[in-house]
Amino acid sequence: MRVGGVEIISTDVRVIAATNVELRQLVAEKLFREDLYYRLNVITIQIPPLRDRLDDVPLLTQHFLDKYSKENERSGLALDPEAGEVLRAYHWPGNVRELENAVERAVVLAPADGVIGTELMQEYIDSGSFDSAQLPSPPLGSMPLKEMVAEFQKSLIIRALDQAGWVQKEAAALLDVKPTTLNEMIKRYGILDVMRERVG
The kind and range of the H/E element at 79 are strand 78-79
Tell whether 162 is covered by a domain.
yes
| Helix, strand, coil abundance in the chain, percent, nearest 5 | 60, 0, 40
Counting the structural domains of the chain, the total is: 2
User: For the segment 107-145, what is each residue's pLDDT rounded down to a tens digit?
Assistant: 988 888 899 998 888 877 776 543 434 444 555 566 676
Give mean pLDDT, residues 2-9.
91
**DSSP character string of 30-51:** TSS-HHHHHHHTTS------GG
103 and 155 housed in the same domain? no
Close Cβ partners of 191 (under 8 Å, ≥ 6 residues apart):
154, 157, 158, 161, 185
CA nearest 188: which of 149, 139, 159?
Answer: 149
pLDDT tens column, 85-110: 989 888 888 889 889 989 998 998 88
Strand partners, 116: 79
- Kindly state whether residue 159 falls inside one of the protein's structural domains: yes
- Are 147 and 185 found together in one domain? yes
Is 9 within a domain? Answer: no
In this predicted model, what pLDDT tens digit does every residue of 8-66 receive, in sequence order?
999 999 989 988 788 888 999 999 999 999 999 999 988 888 988 999 999 999 999 99
Residue type, 8: I
Asked whether residue 55 falls in the same domain as residue 124, the answer is yes
Residues 155, 117, single domain; the answer is no
Domain that holds residue 169: 133-199
Q: pTM of the prediction?
A: 0.54
| β-bridge pairing 78-79 and 115-116 | parallel
Burial of 62 from C-beta contacts in 10 A (0-12 / 13-18 / 19+): middle
